[in-house]
Structure 1
Amino acid sequence: MMDNFTPGPFEEELTAAGVPRHLHGWLGRYGIGALVVKMGIHFLEMSPERTVATMPVEGNTQVAGILHGGAHVVLAETLGSFSASIHAGPGRHAVGIEVSAAHHRSISSGLVTGTCTAIHLGRTLVTHEVVMTDAEGRRLSTARITNMVRDNAPAT
């Protein structure tokens, strides 16, 4: 049984990714996911209403040397899914059912900041808008993600 005080096997990963200490018990058995680690996503804030993280452009580019459009979507889905999962709370989980993105401008170096803001926090559906910006605050892309909140299956 995991509690909010016993370190799990992913303690170092969570700390390195900037996950707030009060969420380590929840994520301690699962970590943040291999793709999140590979993309270099680092969390600055995490809550149902607002989650903020950065991601480096380096290592996440497409052949033309700019941030891959899919990397924008990975950041957006990561932020929206974590926010929805925190909203779901103990005994429930969130599953993505829709994600869309519009790309406004490219970026070829530096950090991208994703800011995820709740649009709707319902009992069964949760929707967030995620805005990706560069270091100067210019909007790079806008995404929207909807998650369905479900009860966990009973333990057998």
Structure 2
Amino acid sequence: MPPVDLDRSIALARELLHQTGAVQVSILQDPGEDGGEPAAVRAVRLGGIQVVDADGTERELPHSAASDVVLPMLPEMKQLPAMDVDAAQGQVTGTIGGLHLLADAISGIALLVGGRSVVAADYETTNPEIPLGIAARPGEPVVVLLGDDEFVLETP
């Protein structure tokens, strides 16, 4: 696997944000044995790109940062309508297969970032007080966050 690359992470975060309609996407670069520098990237809808380098230096980049990066084939990504969530029951209801589609996209982006990096995205729900969060790390189960509650996504 090539070393974890900050520009690639920025471009991947922006693509995931745009193509899935996320409110925000975060990538925590953990290069592991792949090499590269640890960093945190956060892309926000209608905002810039925030980067925190390994030494703690914070930078705000324009939304178009790293737009010249050539990306490999991306996983399937779609924008879906807001889903209904019930944190007490651990239920997400929406487009059939929608949660797994988003989870697969986030897992695919995590694989493209490389190393032991974590990719997380937040989505609006029909209840503005309970966002839907999805996080993935290569080789590990996908985690779904409903407000403060955390669930492991079961594979179909």
Q: Which has the higher contact order (CA 8 A, sep 6+)?
A: 2
User: What TM-score does the superposition give when structure 2 sets the normalisation length?
Assistant: 0.38
User: Which structure has more strand as a fraction of its residues?
Assistant: 1
